[in-house]
Structure 1
């Protein structure tokens, strides 16, 4: 692993010069230059300080980019069917609950609803592929039909109800994995 090259890539991505990064981390421009050329190695404390300023976590920094998957096929999906509740949820990305966003394909049978959720810090996006749904968000209700989108903060209890005389199909993307 080339730590220096990754630090440089992050620095440039953040639009910082070596001098600006050095000022924010109490390091000299020369030391930053040496790090980026792998001529010097940072202490753990220095590396963590650099990563904080560069807006990344140690885990993200050390994850092997070559092993990070970009394209996911249908074989990667995880499907859960709840016959009693009348829905099918298809997690489109494996381990999406460990990522920033959790995209799912949700199918609601006629007169069914997805489970109720307590308030959280999540934000949720819903795209209605087919059908008509009702979002109950706290004391408010919102309706969306084929082609409509919904975007909301999950700061109130909420649930999605199928209002279509058949099945409704949705793409749901939520942050702070709670699906």
Structure 2
């Protein structure tokens, strides 16, 4: 483990400069710099002081977390089975418990529509990849075409409908918590 690099990444993820961290820990900026470049060592007490200033502790800092998954292959998509006729939806990434987003690919056959969702927390974003859709928010219709996108707070009743009688519509839909 590269202790200095790990401390630097943690400091930067908290949006702190070396000077700010030094002030919070009553250490010098040059000591923080030397520490991050592995040119000096430190005591456990000093490490604990730095970690407290960074909002963590020894146990968390030294736990070996496995790298988060980055790529999700097409074959890993999870189908959503309880959709209305003519609607196919797929959860694009699994293991979203730690994420604050649920991305879906929604395919609407001609004339198909999603079920109306009631009010809930969070935001929703969509991007029309193919075709046309009507977005309904509290009984107000918004017409979207390929390349258009939408964003709204999910405190409205909402649904999508494909108004076409001939062409399929495909929407990338994100639920954000």
TM range (shorter): 0.7 to 0.9
C-alpha separation between the residues in 2 aligned to 1:153 and 1:46? Answer: 39
Q: Give the match for residue 79 of structure 1.
A: 79
| Corresponding position: 1:174 with 2:162 | no
* Aligned match of 2:42: 39
Which residue of 2 is the match for residue 28 of structure 1?
26
User: Using a 3 Å threshold, how does the CA distance of structure 1 residues 62 and 104 change in structure 2: closer, same or farther?
Assistant: farther
Residues 129-172 of structure 1: CA deviation (Å, up to 9, x unaligned): 22221111124221112222112222222121221214211111
Report how far residue 94 of structure 1 moved: 1.5
Aligned length: 165
1:92 shift after superposition: 1.4
Q: CA RMSD in A?
A: 3.2
Query: 1:4 deviation in Å?
Result: 4.7
Seen in structure 2, the aligned counterparts of structure 1 residues 86 and 72 have a Cα distance that, compared at 3 Å, is same
1:97–1:110 distance in 2 versus 1, CA, 3 Å = farther
Tell whether the 8 Å contact from 1:19 to 1:28 is kept in structure 2 after alignment: no
Mapping for residues 68-147 of structure 1, pairs under 5 Å:
68-82=68-82, 84-147=84-147
- How has the CA–CA distance of structure 1 residues 62 and 89 changed in structure 2, closer, same or farther, with 3 Å as cutoff? farther
Residue aligned with 1:98, SS: coil
Native 8 Å contact 2:135 2:160 kept in 1 = yes
Considering only CA atoms, is the larger Rg found in Structure 1 or Structure 2?
A: 2
**Structure 2: where are the runs of 5+ without partners?**
none
**Which secondary structure does the structure 1 equivalent of 2:143 belong to?**
strand
Of 149-158 and 3-12, the range deviating more from structure 2: 3-12
Q: Deviations over 1:62-94 (max 9, x none)?
A: 633xx3222221122112244644311111111
**SS where residue 112 of structure 2 aligns?**
coil
Aligned partners of 2:9, 2:50: CA distance in 1, in Å? 17
TM-score by length of 1: 0.72
Deviates more, 1:33-42 or 1:112-121: 33-42
CA distance in 2, matches of 1:27, 1:74: 47
- Residue equivalent to 1:159: 159
